[in-house]
Amino acid sequence: MRGMGAVFQLPDDRSIALERGDLTRVDADAIVNAANSQLARGGGVCGAIHAAGGPSIAEECRAWVAEHGAVPTGGAAITTGGRLPARFVVHAVGPVWHGGSSREPDLLANAYRSSIEIADGQGLCSIAFPSISTGIFGYPVSLAAPVALEAARGALAAAQNVREVRFVLFDQATHDAYEAALESLSVE
């Protein structure tokens, strides 16, 4: 499974794929924003999504928080995609890394599962993720990748509508970590 475009095939034509690229340019039913609990514009992938999608995303995020309150760590919310190619943005709140002793793996897995469940509930067929929590939240990519892929596999297997999960990874080191984790997932 070396190289770009590694794919893990599940039954019923469901798949998990890896690619390098810019998440804001992905044509999927939904992309996932690595968000904070207030759904406020931040840096990294969050800032890029807000910049590319335009002000309507921030407006919808403010309205969502005003109506529902802060999104808990491990949870997710959904807005439209504004000017993005994706129709929707799922805003997933991953954990801040505190050394692994504060339930970080469980909370990270919940962020991926919640995102797929929300997309599935909207009748969406495809969803694309960044590497949640591995930027400013400090989660080591080598530890996050297996958690992310296993959570995605489980949620995808339980989904009624979602058929394709893509991990769109910005840099080569992150892609390599996910590719190694995908290879391990494939041999289980």
CA-nearest of 4, 23, 5 to 15 is: 5
CA-nearest of 1, 2, 132 to 71 is: 132
- The per-residue pLDDT for 2 is 33
What are 20's strand-pairing partners? 169
User: What is the residue extent of each domain of the chain?
Assistant: 7-187
What is the H or E stretch that residue 90 is in? strand 88-93
SS3 128: strand
Q: CA triplet 35, 88, 130: central angle to 5 degrees?
A: 45
CA-nearest of 63, 163, 147, 61 to 112 is: 147
- The per-residue pLDDT for 188 is 56
What does pTM read for this prediction?
0.94
Architecture (CATH level 2) of domain 7-187: 3-Layer(aba) Sandwich (3.40)
- Helix, strand, coil shares of the chain, percent, nearest 5, are 40, 20, 40
- The per-residue pLDDT for 97 is 97
Mean pLDDT, consecutive 10-residue segments, the chain of 188 residues? 67 93 96 96 92 97 97 98 98 97 97 98 98 96 98 96 97 96 77
